Structure formats: structure tokens, C-alpha cells
Amino acid sequence: MKIKLPVTLYQRILSILSFLLLIGQLLCLILRWNSLPNEIPTHFGLNGQADAYGPKGSLVILPVITVLIYLLMIFVEKFPEFWNVPGHVTPQNIGWIYGNMKSMLVTLRFAVTFIFFYLNYCSVFCLDLGAWFTPVFLLLTAGPMVFFIWRAVHFNK
């Protein structure tokens, strides 16, 4: 059974912001390429400090991974009939449950795109991530999943 989900304003705004972050990441790398030092940070420790360095060519992997994750998440969003959703699905709540899960995917796509944009930005400008990065990263990735799954399980209709 094919499930057609409408796009909400929330989903549209986050999709646009995700796309802009993706383009921004690519532009940041392209525009700064010639002024990059030959050795740039390639790994950051839990404290947000760069702890490994490598050639500037290694920066290309960040946008490639971002684009692949971005496209994979869009692909998954297009086929809700294959999702295994939490909560009790009935004919009355199917639209809400699947719409909620689509919002989760869109939110996660935005979070992942933002995280990779920030990693790319810090690497391109040879900055440390900051000690706050690890907890914020965990919150941005786990938070939406916990929130939207909780909503689906506790939805009463």
C-alpha cells in the first residue's frame, strides 16, 4: 500500500535549511581551497581539540559523506510504506503517525547536515570544535529520535 504524506511547514523549512547547509558546506570548501594550509585538522578528541592532522585533500570526504547521508535520508522519506513505526497504527491515526516519523527524519537530516557543516567549517578554518560539541552532537542526534518516538507511542487517537 502506497502512503502519500503531505509536507508540513515545519518539514519544508527544515528541508530548505538542510539544503542550504549542504550547499554552504560545499561552497565553504571550494572558496577556501586555495588558501588552505597543506595540513589541516582531520580528527577531534572528545574535548573538541584537534588531535590528528592530514593533507587538505582529506577534507573532501566530509561533503561526500554529507551528500550521501542527505540523499539516503531523502530516499528513505519517499517510502513510508516500508517504515517500521512505533505505536499502534489504526486507519484513524495512520496519517499522524507516519507524518510524525517523517518529521523525525527531516529533523535528523537537518541535524546531521548541521553537524557536518560545522565539522567542515572548523576544519577549513583550522578551529577547534569546542568542548561543547560532543554533548550537543549527542543531543542533536538522539534528541529528535527520543522526542518523535515518544510522541508516536503516546499518541492517543
The answer to which of 20-34, 61-75, 106-120, 122-136 has the lowest mean pLDDT is 122-136
- Mean pLDDT, to the nearest integer, of 96-114? 93
* 56-78: average pLDDT: 93
Separation of alpha carbons 87 and 94, rounded Å: 10
Q: Is the pLDDT of residue 1 over 70?
A: no
Residue 47 is given by DSSP the state T
Mean pLDDT calculated for residue range 72-101: 85
pLDDT bucket at 75, cuts 50 / 70 / 90: very high
pLDDT at 79 over 80: yes
